[in-house]
Structures are given as C-alpha cells and as structure tokens.
Structure 1
C-alpha cells in the first residue's frame, strides 16, 4: 500500500488528530487544546494541498492589480507621494519619493508576474519549483522592527490590499439592475491638491483649509514642489467632508453665521 503524500508546507487538517495526540479529545482539560495535527493530503499530481493550491492560484490572479496599485502609489501624479514631508538641511539631495518597501514589493510581483498565466497543475509536482512559488507567493514574512527580510504576494496584499478598503465609496449600478454596489478601485479615487479639492465643490481654498483645521479633512500625502509643501487629499475624503459640513450647516446654522 502506497503511503499518502502530505502537503510539503506542513498544512494540517482542522479538528483531525493523530491517535496519539495528547491535547485533544473529550478528556483534555488544558489551556492549549490542539486544533488539528493530522497533515493535509496533497492534491492529485501535486506536492501541496488543495488549500495551498487554491490560495496560490487566487493570489496570482491578484498580481496584475497589485502591480497597478503599487505603481500608482509610487507615481506622485497618480496616488500617494510621501507619507510625510521630508526636509534635509544638511544635504542638497532630493528626498526619496518611493519607499524601499514599495520597490521591494514590486520586485517580487514582477518576479512572479508570468506565473499568473501558467498552468499551475503542470508545475506543482516539482519540489524546487513549489518551494520557490510558496516563498514568493504564499509565505508571510513578518516584519522585524518594521522591516521585512523578503516580500511575497500575500505580504503585498496584506500591506496594501488589492483595492482601497472603504465603507463609503461605492459604484452603484442602475436601480433597475437590482445588483449590489461594488467597491471602487484605486484609480477611481484619485489624490487632489487643495486647489482641485476646492474646485470639486466650487469652494474657495480657504474654505477647504478650514475643514482641515476643524479635523473634518486630513491630507493623506504631502510633497515638496518648487519649494512649497503641497497637500494631497483623497477625492472620497473630500466628498465625505463636504457632506459632513453641509449637514453641520443645516443642523447648527448658528455656528456658521459669521463664517
């Protein structure tokens, strides 16, 4: 009888235990019960289990969107430019616009990009290939002191997500379609300058600056341009602030009587 192969990544079956497991069963009363210790079998013709295979295929399907998202974040004309303003008094060198974490993540995404179009089933029975794919796609590399020694597709997705996560910005289909609203992707929520934010709602720049002073609106990025610090705001955040200020004016008009 041929012994069943198990996932080389060490995956186990939840609530399935070895007969010798001492931390499971109705008689166990300890604080650290075993959640499963029996290894998962490999899928047919593969060295990994169905769960790993499915995760790998799903993450590879996200690679193109992740590349687009990180490229947009790295491009000051499209998305976030700097997390904060950096001023160097002792050097004339310009500050780095793109963080090293984004560059490292893009290197990993580009390395696995072509695998998104490959037939995984034809390659997951080779140990060297599977180990490389698992390291670059599935493995979570926990940061130490804020730094990672490597990046995987899963790390990139955990850090930045495939699309901007928000509760208030959605694409609503025509009412007669009866479909659920879907989240707007990154490129539908651009960064706008103070001037662009004011023009979006036909306001003065001073009015938008007051929103910032009241804490209703916060810049998500700042960039030094031509000796001046330019703040950038998400279009969705501007719209949300405008709606909030409109509600405040309606409910508490006395606060805005002299403004």
Structure 2
C-alpha cells in the first residue's frame, strides 16, 4: 500500500525532495566538517519540503495526532477555566473596603470575547460528544482520525488558529485559540475545579451547560419538544430557530438554545405561542 501523508500538509523539518535546491547540502556539509575541511556556513533556504507521513490508521502525522489528543484531553479543563473567568461571582477579590468590608462597586461586565470563546468551545465539545455517544470523544478519536471529513472538522474545532478580522474580532474560537489566550491551568488561587457533567440514568447525553442556558442538538431539542414533528412544526411557524450550526462528521448540525425551546413550550401551555398570529 502506498504511503499516506498528513492531509494537513505538514512537512518534515530538514528533509527535502530531490528537486529542492537544498537537497543533500546539509549532508554534504556534515561530511566536509567530519573530514576536517573548513566550509562556508550553510543556511538553508528551505526548512523542509518533504511531506510528513501519516501515522498508521490515520490521515494525520504523529505530530498532529499528539496535538489533537492534547487539545481534546485539555478540553474539559479549558471550558472549566473559561466558565470560572466568565462568572464574576467566583472572582478572587483583590480590593477590600476600609474595615474589611466588601467593595460597593458593581461587578465588571464579562468580556464579550470570553463569552464568544466559551460559546464556541461548549458548542463544539457538546456536538462532538453527542455525535460519538455512547463513547466519549477521547475514546472515539482513534477511529475518527482515519476519515478525511472527520479530520477536517476536528481540525476546525480544535487545532486551527483563527486570525482576527478587520474589526479585531475572531469569527470563530477553536480550542487552540482559547488555550493560547487563556491557558488551561487555573491561575487564580482557590479557583474552583470544574466538575464534568455525567449521563443520566437513561443513558441520554445531557445538554452541555452554558452559563445557565444550554445548547441542545436537534435530537435533544426534539426530546424536549416531545416529538420530532412538534419541533418541525415550531420551526415551520417561525417560533424557534437554531441558535447556530456546527460541522460534525461532514454535516451541518443545528444547535438550539434551551431558553428558546422553553419559551415556546411555556407559551403553548398558557395559550397562544409567542410570535404566532391570530
């Protein structure tokens, strides 16, 4: 079987193809140096152009695989850190009013950038966990990395770095973006540890908590509405719409906010659904 290369285009450092101008120059320099011949300092123009081979049963190289596994393993702690940073009531007080009392100043608003990142991370993590259920993503990743579409989607959500736009806003936050900015380790003494959600007794994936307003997959939203036809009817009447979509397994997955679904359900219980004409 022909050797496969990393689909992310990774190169081997210092390894060149025969067509490269730097091919063989480093080896030739080393031979001259070993023979005691003084040579002019060699500075390669190419740092390596030979593609990195993919690891066994995967479409990415060992370096990408290790990075992906590290980001997936760090994901719960990273989400927990961002949740703690986003909740002002858990912040460690640094200023005390005279006499030891607390400050009367109102809590500072939460950084919108932090909330955007938390929203993207929780949505990505929850959608992947729902997709691979009953396995966890940590357990399923070895089978996922042997599929081209899965690798591309995992790279988008976890590994790719996204630049700021002209307005200084990041259109999407990957786990790599968030880890680079805020880190995984809890940097505030006494910051509470994050407790991972558990599955309920029926074995159904629980919605991912998102500052009190969970994001639900379409399947979870159908269960909340009662039936798939009920959710379809709500959508057809314009009563509820997906809050966002994410790409999982090559397909676009609709994610709904629990508060939107609850609003429609509660309005039906007391009368005409909000937003529905006479």
**Deviation of the 1:107 alpha carbon:** 2.3
**Deviation of the 1:75 alpha carbon:** 0.6
Question: Unaligned regions of 5+ residues in structure 2, if any?
Answer: 30-40, 94-105, 130-135, 193-278
Closer, same or farther: CA 38–136 of 1 in aligned 2, 3 Å? same
Structure 1 residue aligned with 2:121 = 109
**Deviation of the 1:139 alpha carbon:** 0.6
Closer, same or farther: CA 147–30 of 1 in aligned 2, 3 Å? farther
Residue 161 (structure 1) aligned with residue 183 (structure 2)? yes
**Deviation of the 1:109 alpha carbon:** 1.9
**Contact 2:163–2:170 (CA<8 Å) still a contact in 1?**
yes
Alpha-carbon distance in 1 for matches of 2:188, 2:92: 11
Question: Unaligned regions of 5+ residues in structure 1, if any?
Answer: 82-93, 165-184, 191-259
Residue 188 (structure 1) aligned with residue 187 (structure 2)? no
**Deviation of the 1:96 alpha carbon:** 8.4
Alpha-carbon distance in 2 for matches of 1:112, 1:62: 11
Matched residue SS, 1:130: helix
**What pairs up with 1:229-240 in 2 under 5 angstroms?**
none
Matched residue SS, 1:119: helix
Structure 1 residue aligned with 2:87 = 75
Structure 2 residue aligned with 1:139 = 160
Alpha-carbon distance in 2 for matches of 1:31, 1:143: 33
**Deviation of the 1:98 alpha carbon:** 2.4
**Contact 1:73–1:80 (CA<8 Å) still a contact in 2?**
no
Structure 1 residue aligned with 2:111 = 99
> Alignment RMSD, CA only?
2.9
Aligned length: 157
Closer, same or farther: CA 96–149 of 1 in aligned 2, 3 Å? farther
Alpha-carbon distance in 2 for matches of 1:96, 1:10: 44
**What pairs up with 1:25-64 in 2 under 5 angstroms?**
25-26=25-26, 33-64=45-76
**Contact 1:61–1:116 (CA<8 Å) still a contact in 2?**
no
Instruction: Please give the TM-score of this superposition, normalised by the length of structure 1.
Output: 0.53
Residue 123 (structure 1) aligned with residue 135 (structure 2)? no
Alpha-carbon distance in 1 for matches of 2:3, 2:86: 47
Alpha-carbon distance in 2 for matches of 1:189, 1:74: 12
**Contact 2:161–2:174 (CA<8 Å) still a contact in 1?**
yes
**Contact 1:69–1:186 (CA<8 Å) still a contact in 2?**
no
